[in-house]
């Protein structure tokens, strides 16, 4: 054999070897469509909880998701009204409130002339209880959720479920076509559903309820998981600005039986870490009983955990109670991840950790401790002055029909009767509100049809404006400012930063620091499932983490 032939043969062998290796690598790394997608959403979770409590987390929970997953450290949900309702609808549909219609927990229906709740629906009945807490549906959600799209693309072969403490979280994450959505009945402590989803109450849920977990947990004291003097990432347990339960109980241990008797229901259970354990146990039972991930059609499960729930502001993001809640939630997530490994193999499920709404530091804390230029804004006082202004400008009349969160609705019949231009009164009202300290911007709704607000700070309001459901004038408060009311609990947030981690063999282990939007979750999951992205999606595919 000549030297030339030897050289040619050598090159040919190298070429074949490289191609063989490339083919093997391609085969070994070819992504497999996960049989189960699990979205873990933690209501009102700040992203800095992950770093703040990092040294106290165990290996299999939050740390595992961070170390093994695709971590988006700069993820946001930019919404005008930042609540669990608006956030859940946006996250799980991939579109803004302007399209999906959930502009708030409630809004004013001009045709019915009354305020309506985003999920209340007495056409349907409670399944699993005699109470009315199951009279709910997703009818008012105007866009399909990720679960709806999965079922449509598999011709209804996929299974879609959700579980949460709150009905809003369960329903708006499940969508319209789900096989089941379950939440806590605060009257009897059982997990229930609505006839909108379930005709016959599942036997396995009845057996789960027979364990009486809610009653068991409320017979115990809530004590810290670790010695209380080790909670160095939190303010003192008796911090003076911490209101606590009923403005009187704000230090460990908590007599949960006493608080339950005071509350008169199991609603307060949502503010304790025990609620998350119930949700986790229910999710495990659901996966078993409904045989999720058992065939070639991908299934979807939305699991929503609570983060102090409606008492979030009573304790604050820096409280010992919050730290203890996350240390215990870390254990629940680790337990759930271990279960998924055993059921489907390590990394074979797509697990997403995120939140539908973050939380903010109380204004009085920022002002007292750090001398920040923040404060409180009284909507009631502002509206009282506005009414006087409108009476002086247009004559006596009850011009404001309803006042909602950061928006107000005019009495359009009165305006027509008095021949007052809607655009004129909206513009004058917005200009008046803009004069108040603490208000960043107020906009008349008429302006949305006249200009392009697709970019900048005005886009947050424009993307959340729904022609049929939003108010006539919408406003935003300055960063750090918070509304206060005389006779109602303040539920407010201006922090759009949310956690967002994708975990599983179908995504690359990576750190993404560029800005990511919460609405990107839906198209990215659909891409992973090899399903088409609908044209209405506002988000984009996060290609940098996909194989």
Computed over every residue of the chain, the mean pLDDT equals 92
Looking at residue 452, its pLDDT comes to: 59
Query: What are the tens digits of pLDDT across the range 224-242?
Result: 999 999 999 999 999 999 9
User: Exposed/middle/buried for 249, CB within 10 Å: 0-12, 13-18, 19+?
Assistant: middle
Looking at residue 455, its pLDDT comes to: 59
Q: Yes or no: say if 474 and 461 are a contact pair by the CB < 8 Å rule.
A: yes
Higher-confidence position of 313 and 482: 482
Query: What are the tens digits of pLDDT across the range 322-351?
Result: 999 999 999 999 999 999 999 999 999 999
User: Exposed/middle/buried for 229, CB within 10 Å: 0-12, 13-18, 19+?
Assistant: exposed
- Banded pLDDT at 38 (limits 50, 70, 90): very high
- Banded pLDDT at 160 (limits 50, 70, 90): very high
* Partners of residue 439 on adjacent β-strands: 477
- Banded pLDDT at 187 (limits 50, 70, 90): very high
Looking at residue 85, its pLDDT comes to: 97
Query: What are the tens digits of pLDDT across the range 89-118?
Result: 999 999 999 999 999 999 999 999 999 999
Looking at residue 11, its pLDDT comes to: 35
- Measured distance CA(264)–CA(217) in Å, rounded: 15
What share of the chain in percent tops pLDDT 90? 89
Query: What are the tens digits of pLDDT across the range 519-547?
Result: 999 999 999 999 999 988 999 999 999 99
Looking at residue 332, its pLDDT comes to: 98
Looking at residue 10, its pLDDT comes to: 41
- Measured distance CA(439)–CA(95) in Å, rounded: 27
Check whether 190 has a pLDDT greater than 60: yes
Looking at residue 185, its pLDDT comes to: 98
- Banded pLDDT at 486 (limits 50, 70, 90): confident
Check whether 496 has a pLDDT greater than 70: yes
Looking at residue 298, its pLDDT comes to: 98
Check whether 2 has a pLDDT greater than 50: no
- Measured distance CA(337)–CA(303) in Å, rounded: 13
- Please name the residues in contact with 13: beta carbons below 8 A apart, sequence gap of 6 or more: none
Angle at the Cα of 87 (from 83 to 496), degrees rounded to 5?
80
Domains in the chain: ranges and CATH: 39-76+119-338 (3.40.720.10), 376-483 (3.30.1360.150)
Looking at residue 20, its pLDDT comes to: 38
Where is average pLDDT lowest: 6-20, 117-131, 478-492? 6-20
Average pLDDT rounded to a whole number, residues 423-452 = 91
Check whether 9 has a pLDDT greater than 50: no
């Amino acid at each position: 054999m000549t030297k030339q032939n030897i050289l040619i043969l050598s090159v040919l062998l190298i070429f074949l070897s490289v191609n063989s290796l490339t083919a093997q690598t391609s085969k070994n790394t070819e992504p497999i469509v996960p049989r189960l997608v699990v979205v873990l959403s933690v209501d009102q979770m700040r992203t800095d909880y992950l770093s703040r409590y990092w040294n106290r987390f165990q290996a299999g929970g939050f740390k595992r998701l961070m170390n093994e997953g695709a971590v988006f450290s700069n993820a946001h949900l930019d919404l005008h009204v930042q609540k669990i309702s608006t956030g859940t609808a946006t996250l799980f549909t991939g579109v803004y409130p302007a399209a999906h219609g959930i502009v708030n927990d409630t809004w004013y229906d001009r045709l019915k002339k009354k305020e309506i709740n985003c999920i209340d629906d007495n056409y349907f009945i409670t399944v699993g209880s005699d109470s009315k807490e199951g009279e709910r549906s997703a009818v008012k959600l105007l866009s399909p959720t990720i679960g709806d799209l999965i079922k449509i693309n598999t011709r209804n072969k996929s299974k879609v479920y959700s579980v949460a403490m709150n009905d809003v979280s369960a329903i708006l994450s499940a969508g319209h076509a789900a096989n089941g959505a379950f939440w806590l009945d605060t009257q009897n402590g059982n997990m229930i559903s609505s006839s909108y989803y379930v005709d016959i109450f599942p036997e396995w849920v009845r057996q789960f309820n027979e364990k009486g977990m809610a009653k068991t947990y409320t017979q115990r004291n809530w004590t810290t998981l670790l010695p209380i003097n080790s909670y160095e990432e939190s303010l003192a347990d008796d911090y003076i600005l911490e209101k606590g339960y009923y403005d009187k109980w704000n230090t460990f241990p908590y007599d949960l039986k006493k608080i339950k008797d005071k509350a008169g229901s199991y609603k307060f259970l949502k503010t304790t870490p025990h609620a998350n354990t119930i949700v986790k146990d229910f999710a495990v039972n659901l996966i078993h009983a409904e045989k999720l991930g058992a065939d070639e059609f991908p299934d979807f499960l939305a699991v929503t955990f609570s983060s102090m729930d409606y008492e979030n502001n009573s304790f604050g993001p820096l409280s010992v109670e919050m730290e203890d809640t996350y240390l215990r939630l870390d254990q629940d997530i680790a337990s759930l991840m271990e279960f998924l490994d055993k059921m489907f193999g390590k990394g074979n499920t797509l697990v997403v950790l995120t939140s539908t709404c973050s939380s903010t530091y109380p204004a009085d804390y920022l002002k007292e401790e750090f001398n920040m230029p923040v404060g409180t804004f009284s909507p009631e006082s502002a509206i009282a002055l506005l009414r006087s202004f409108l009476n002086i400008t247009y004559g006596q009349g009850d011009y404001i029909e309803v006042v909602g969160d950061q928006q107000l609705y005019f009495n359009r019949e009165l305006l027509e009767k008095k021949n007052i231009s809607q655009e004129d009164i909206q513009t004058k009202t917005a200009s008046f509100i803009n004069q108040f300290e603490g208000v960043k911007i107020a906009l008349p709704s008429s302006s949305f049809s006249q200009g392009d607000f697709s970019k900048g700070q005005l886009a947050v309001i424009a993307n959340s404006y729904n022609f049929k459901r939003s108010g006539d004038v919408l406003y935003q408060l300055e960063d750090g400012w918070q509304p206060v009311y005389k006779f109602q609990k303040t539920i407010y947030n201006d922090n759009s930063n949310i956690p967002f981690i994708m975990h599983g063999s179908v995504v690359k282990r990576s750190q993404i620091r560029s800005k990511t939007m919460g609405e990107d979750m839906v198209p990215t999951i659909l891409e992973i499932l090899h399903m088409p992205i609908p044209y209405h999606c506002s988000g984009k595919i996060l290609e940098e983490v996909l194989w």
